Structure 1
Amino acid sequence: MEDTVRRIDRILLAIHQAHPGRVEMRASLLAPALGVEAFDVLAVKRAGNGLRPTTAYSHVQVDGGRLRALVDGEARALGNFPPPDELDKVWMVRRGHPADVIAVTADSIQADLTLMAGSGRPRLPLWARPSRDADVVRLCRGAVLLVHGEPRHDYRNVVVATDFSRASLAAARTAALLAPNARFVFVHAFQQPETAMMRELELPPRVIRSYREQGWEAARRKLDEFVELFLHDVPPGRREVHAGRAYEVIRDCVRRQQADLLVLGRGACHPGARLSSTNVMQKLMDEGACDLLVGPDRQGDGIDRRLAA
């Protein structure tokens, strides 16, 4: 199992007026470790609803002290402190949702990482609301970092949830680039549905206990092998294996470790995935306990990823 995540060269900052400064501050903290001096900044806001939704957006490239706007595919130089009327001219309108515009822009510039502010804990149930965060993750091919908290320092405690897949491998290696000096914790959740049947059959407790211990030992052995074989270039860290539902195991680990960054491989990303009660990624996005990094899409399956209008 090989993966090509070696460095991050192009970063897209998707900013929204509801969370001023949050994404920009996190980017400034990440820049020294990544050696990145230039960013693409995309401001988006919904311009129209209905059957044909539209989004207003402004795409500006920041390189050191130089600014330039991209208007209709052409670069337009801006001053270091451009006047408001000059900035008004670089706003454009595009058909689609904000998530569409973010994904199209990330794809056009081949962004390795897209940063955006997380939406926070929702008030409506999953089936009754759209999910901008989940839509951006589904539509973007590169890694996506959802910034939930106000950035105050570099990442210090990173929890990497793994299911031993290529997706979780790519996510872990991306996290190592973002937080090279952090303390890492690798966590894996496994289930033993047979234990319920064993209790129904009234098998001796020692038999059930022995079965659970064997399952834990097998899962721990697999986690050790995965980390040592494929993540030897990631900062070493603690390893945890727990029986239970993946969402609950990961959530409890984040709280226990006081993590400021949770790392997930890209899971189910089809349009209906967010409505699934088993969608671990969506539940953890809604939890918003800390920043969330979703690894890049390494499949390149070419599926049409646009949102329905």
Structure 2
Amino acid sequence: MKPTQPILAVTDFSPLARHAAERAARLAHETGAPLTLMHVMRGGALHNLRQWLGTSHPLATQLEADAQQQLDQLAADLHTARHVSARTVLASGSVLDEIGQKAEALNAALLVLGARGEGFLRRQVLGTTSERLLRRTTRPVLVVRQTPHAAYRRVLVALDFSPWSLQALAVARRVAPHAHLVLFNAFQVPFEEKLHFAGVDPTTIEHYRQQARTQAVQQVHAFAASARLKSGQWEPCIVEGDPSLRMAQQELALDCDLVVLGKHGQSAAEDLLLGSVTQHMLAEGSVDVLVSTAR
């Protein structure tokens, strides 16, 4: 990340949102990027509260004051732990709109949020609202699950060899510049079930399988060469099977602490966030997930 571009961490004060803020502070310290902590109070809920209790009732004002106090305390804690001075922003309104507008106003290099939260952030990450947020933003989004004890060590980068794969790798190297990279690709024999059903000889199908594996190996090595990765910086991980399931298996088997996915797949019209791969990793993976949204 460019030092002039800030990191925007969104919090609802839940435990995992705190992990996200701590990860954002660690990244800000490592890169020199400014850090902004943001909390959004749902405008509709505040409006209803004022209607029920009256516009002059002090409760709504007290809720805002309490939220600001929690933001300030979080910023103070991060300053003590990570020696980072964070700016705080308290907003009210549509959660997605407020986050998007603030990210644009800051020209944020990265959005950071917890994997599961309380209230709106739980729906943000695990429901359709998350897909809308990731679809509409052009900023990379880091979804944090783990307590950030250290910088990222091993990063699994999912490749489909589309133009967005290079962008995903670039984002991974900015967020985890010193991590060892695992370049992951899951290949499958095209129409294998139909080939079996059509009575194609198993030896012929196995030949196709070996061809698919060889092509995947060649593509991964060509990708690493085009990205100018040096020996020792990376390793291939080429497996057969469903990308969602195999990726989740390999993140654990290879002791990775971050998975990086591109927002788009082979086609410009294909959005993996509307399919199974990214959705599966966000919902079922066990490590942090970084989604590159840029084309």
Q: Which residue of 1 aligns with 2:8?
A: 12
Residue 25 of structure 2 corresponds to residue 28 of structure 1? yes
Alignment of 1:9-158 (within 5 A): 9-19=5-15, 21-36=18-33, 38-48=34-44, 91-94=90-93, 96=94, 98-119=95-116, 130-158=127-155
Q: Which residue of 1 aligns with 2:225?
A: 228
Q: Which residue of 2 aligns with 1:211?
A: 208
Alignment of 1:222-301 (within 5 A): 222-232=219-229, 236-267=233-264, 276=274, 278-298=275-295
Residue 16 of structure 1: how far off its partner (Å): 1.3
Residue 117 of structure 1: how far off its partner (Å): 0.9
Could you list the runs of 5+ residues in structure 2 that have no partner in the other structure?
A: 49-63, 118-122
Q: Secondary structure of the residue that 2:111 maps to in structure 1?
A: strand
Q: Secondary structure of the residue that 1:267 maps to in structure 2?
A: coil
Q: Secondary structure of the residue that 1:48 maps to in structure 2?
A: helix
Q: 1:262 touches 1:293 (CA, 8 Å); kept in 2?
A: yes
CA 11–220 in structure 1, closer or farther in 2 if over 3 Å, else same: same
Q: Secondary structure of the residue that 2:251 maps to in structure 1?
A: helix
TM-score, reference length from structure 2: 0.74
Could you list the runs of 5+ residues in structure 1 that have no partner in the other structure?
A: 71-90, 121-125, 299-309
Return the alpha-carbon distance in structure 2 between the equivalents of residues 167 and 284 of structure 1: 18
The amino acid across from 1:93 in the alignment is: S
Residue 230 of structure 1: how far off its partner (Å): 2.6
Q: 2:248 touches 2:281 (CA, 8 Å); kept in 1?
A: yes
TM-score, reference length from structure 1: 0.71
Q: 1:133 touches 1:285 (CA, 8 Å); kept in 2?
A: no
The amino acid across from 2:39 in the alignment is: A
Residue 24 of structure 1: how far off its partner (Å): 2.3
Aligned residue among 195, 200, 220 for 2:197: 200
Residue 231 of structure 1: how far off its partner (Å): 4.7
Alignment of 1:181-196 (within 5 A): 181-196=178-193
Instruction: Tell me the alpha carbon deviations over residues 240-261 of structure 1, each in whole angstroms, 9 at most, x when there is no partner.
Output: 2222222122112112112210
The amino acid across from 1:23 in the alignment is: A
CA 144–177 in structure 1, closer or farther in 2 if over 3 Å, else same: same
CA 224–66 in structure 1, closer or farther in 2 if over 3 Å, else same: closer
Residue 27 of structure 1: how far off its partner (Å): 2.0
CA 118–204 in structure 1, closer or farther in 2 if over 3 Å, else same: same
Return the alpha-carbon distance in structure 1 between the equivalents of residues 252 and 22 of structure 2: 24
Aligned-residue CA RMSD in angstroms?
3.5
Q: 1:157 touches 1:260 (CA, 8 Å); kept in 2?
A: yes
The amino acid across from 1:34 in the alignment is: T
CA 231–6 in structure 1, closer or farther in 2 if over 3 Å, else same: farther
Q: 2:9 touches 2:37 (CA, 8 Å); kept in 1?
A: yes
